[in-house]
Structure 1
Amino acid sequence: MGTRYQHIVYGDASLLREYDSGGPRGYGAGIDSPDEGPQEVTEREIRMLTTAFAFHMSTVTPSGWPYVQYRSGPRGFVHHLGGNRFGFADFRGNQQFVSVGNMNHDDRVALFVADYPLRRRMKAFGRATTVEAADDPDLLDHLRQVDGGQIAAQCERSVVIEIEAFDWNCGRSIVPQYTKEEVRERVQPYIDQIHTLQDEVAALKKQLAQG
């Protein structure tokens, strides 16, 4: 799996606290190994990112503060571009350009992706590049494609992220949440059964009325 995640996350202060608590364990246990470079994503990470309809992305402001933004779109709006590269179309927003400006100044980003029904969550670090629509219209057109058609929202640029490190966290504290479509999918069999029973009741009432 590699140790890049530990080397990115852990600093001297964090390690000192771990040693004070009895020594490195868990994530910190891998910090003594050399940084092996970017971790190679597997089908598990690809599936998590490309089936998500939302995630949180943190960029770095020029003053060094983290800036967290919620990104969402139709399920599948994040595309795997091969290797550790992923991309998504950047929708026209409130024209503040904070994340875009941050990425152009410092390409480091952090992602938090959660699958709430299955109570899974993944953290990832990467380096992001923004590509304006006029500079590569074919890329943006590709990133606008999702199952069932094309993203209808106005898209101004592409965001391409090269994942360097990732980690899967314990999901026991995640409260399951479901979209309207997911709820509908789960209750549809019961709705169909109710309709069938209603039809049967109506037929029996008609038979009784006809004596």
Structure 2
Amino acid sequence: MSRQYGCIAFTDDVRGVQDDYGSSGFYDRMRRRVDGAEESDPLGPNEASFLTERDGFYLSTVSQTGWPYVQFRGGPPGFLHVTDEHTIAWADFSGNLQHVSTGNLVGDQRVAIIAVDYPRRRRLKLFGMARVVRIQDDPQLVSSLAVPDYNAVVEAAIVVNVTAFDWNCPQHIPQRFTLAEIEARIAPLRARIEELEALLGAA
């Protein structure tokens, strides 16, 4: 858990519930008050490599009505970039034209992100401030985030200044595998089957 995470997540309401369940003492040492100063916790090598290996994550924004909006963002592994220790960014691909997430960012830049590695049962949560960068405003940035040979229209770039993060325990994370991950695991078995079939055919 990064230093600022408790300052954002452990509000007085949350702490009251922690009191009820007897966990406030454990989390008090992680809860920080920085006299109203806005600080950001740097991403380390573990966080950076984890994020850039993902093929998707869950993005939450805040609407004008106060309701949270959660959307899945996906792409080939590597489409999520860690540009420095405080910043992540990705190309915003064209979708169903609702533009709820990007529209919410007009009025409130706060976002929460959850990235999950299902095979290894690892989960990283982030808080940050996001902005939309359109192609006409910074074509070089947007093009640098595009994924070569990926069949998707890039509408803009989303740049997030990460404020805080926390690694979750693996408890209750199901193990799931993508088709590519399964294919990689069974490829040696298929090769061995072909080898044995060739031997039987030659016998």
C-alpha deviation, 1:28, in angstroms: 4.3
SS at match of 1:30: coil
C-alpha deviation, 1:83, in angstroms: 2.5
The range that moved more, 136-145 or 1-10, is 1-10
58, 62, 65: which is aligned to 1:63?
A: 65
Query: TM-score, normalised to structure 1's length?
Result: 0.89
CA offsets per residue over residues 3-59 of structure 1, 9 Å max, x none? 31111111212212222333514444422x433831111011111111110000000
Q: Confirm or deny: 8 A CA contact 1:144 1:150 kept in the other structure.
A: no
Q: Which residue of 2 aligns with 1:209?
A: none
SS at match of 2:24: coil
Q: CA distance change for structure 1 residues 26 and 115 in 2, over 3 Å: closer, same or farther?
A: farther
Q: Which residue of 2 aligns with 1:111?
A: 113
Q: CA distance change for structure 1 residues 23 and 75 in 2, over 3 Å: closer, same or farther?
A: closer
C-alpha distance in 1, partners of 2:157/2:26? Answer: 36
Q: Confirm or deny: 8 A CA contact 1:2 1:38 kept in the other structure.
A: no
Aligned residues: 200
Q: Which residue of 1 aligns with 2:189?
A: 190
CA offsets per residue over residues 51-74 of structure 1, 9 Å max, x none? 110000000000111000000001
Q: Which residue of 2 aligns with 1:151?
A: 150
SS at match of 1:126: strand
Q: Which residue of 1 aligns with 2:201?
A: 202
C-alpha distance in 2, partners of 1:12/1:79? Answer: 34
1:89 pairs with 2:91? yes
Q: Confirm or deny: 8 A CA contact 1:122 1:169 kept in the other structure.
A: yes
C-alpha deviation, 1:134, in angstroms: 1.1
C-alpha deviation, 1:152, in angstroms: 2.7
C-alpha distance in 1, partners of 2:25/2:57? Answer: 28
Q: Confirm or deny: 8 A CA contact 2:44 2:85 kept in the other structure.
A: no
Q: Which residue of 2 aligns with 1:8?
A: 8
Q: Confirm or deny: 8 A CA contact 1:50 1:80 kept in the other structure.
A: yes
127, 134, 137: which is aligned to 2:136?
A: 134
| Paired residue type of 1:137 | P
CA offsets per residue over residues 81-138 of structure 1, 9 Å max, x none? 1231111000111111110110111000000000001110010000001011111111
C-alpha distance in 2, partners of 1:41/1:29? Answer: 21
Q: CA distance change for structure 1 residues 71 and 130 in 2, over 3 Å: closer, same or farther?
A: same
C-alpha distance in 2, partners of 1:120/1:80? Answer: 18
| Paired residue type of 1:116 | Y
Q: Confirm or deny: 8 A CA contact 2:110 2:129 kept in the other structure.
A: yes
Give unpaired runs (5+ residues) of structure 2: none
Q: CA distance change for structure 1 residues 78 and 2 in 2, over 3 Å: closer, same or farther?
A: closer
SS at match of 1:117: coil
Q: CA distance change for structure 1 residues 202 and 54 in 2, over 3 Å: closer, same or farther?
A: same
